[in-house]
Amino acid sequence: MTSLILLAISQTGAASAAPPPLLGLRIGAEEAQVRAKLDKLGSSAKEEKEGREAEDEGEMVVWTLKSGPYQTAVVRFKKDRLTSLTAFVRPKASVPFSTIGSSKSAAVYRDHTAIWNVDAKPHPYRLVAKGPNGQANVVYMLSLER
């Protein structure tokens, strides 16, 4: 009976190690901490939202990164906490899905998409890589908190 339970856990990916956070940032991190980290990596331009859209989606800030495989990072904050991060890969750069996370821990791992559901306490999130032939051209992580 125990082996059946372990088998079920390993098939869902819950027993495998979680992928590392994108750009070294974690969902739920304080806004000041995120800004300090990304300011070291590049320069930012704030995008303003007004009214209900700002309340629903939170504040969005775009960073142009100086080096590395990622060219641009788009972050969203809600109540001074990181709720999402999208990183766009530089043209001609290569970010294989396998360098983002293990296929064994992924909820979905296909040629064009890999998805990991990360049960990080206290801020669970989803990490998604998309691109052709197992090579990401965009990677994002989203809070699973409501």
- Does 5 reside within a domain? no
Q: Quote the number of domains for the chain.
A: 1
- Does 15 reside within a domain? no
Give the helix ranges, DSSP H, for 48-137: 51-57, 97-100
pLDDT digits (tens, 9 = 90+) for 9-53: 333 444 456 788 899 999 999 999 999 999 999 999 866 555 555
- Does 99 reside within a domain? yes
Residue 60 · residue 47 · CB < 8 Å: yes
- Does 17 reside within a domain? no
Spatial distance between the Cα atoms of 125 and 42, rounded to a whole number of angstroms = 24
Q: Among candidates 18, 16, 62, 17, which has minimal Cα distance to 38? A: 62
Spatial distance between the Cα atoms of 83 and 57, rounded to a whole number of angstroms = 9
- Does 13 reside within a domain? no
Please give the span between the terminal C-alpha atoms of the chain, in angstroms, as a whole number: 35
Owning domain of residue 51: 22-143
Which distant-in-sequence residues (6+ apart) come within 8 Å of 2 by Cβ? none
How many C-beta atoms lie closer than 10 Å to residue 125's C-beta? 26
- Does 29 reside within a domain? yes
pTM above 0.95, yes or no: no
The first and second tokens of residue 123, run together, are 């801020």
- Does 14 reside within a domain? no
pLDDT digits (tens, 9 = 90+) for 89-105: 999 998 999 999 999 99
Confidence check: pLDDT of 146 > 90: no
Confidence check: pLDDT of 8 > 90: no
Spatial distance between the Cα atoms of 64 and 9, rounded to a whole number of angstroms = 39
Residue 93, helix vs strand vs coil? coil
- Does 77 reside within a domain? yes
Which distant-in-sequence residues (6+ apart) come within 8 Å of 39 by Cβ? 63
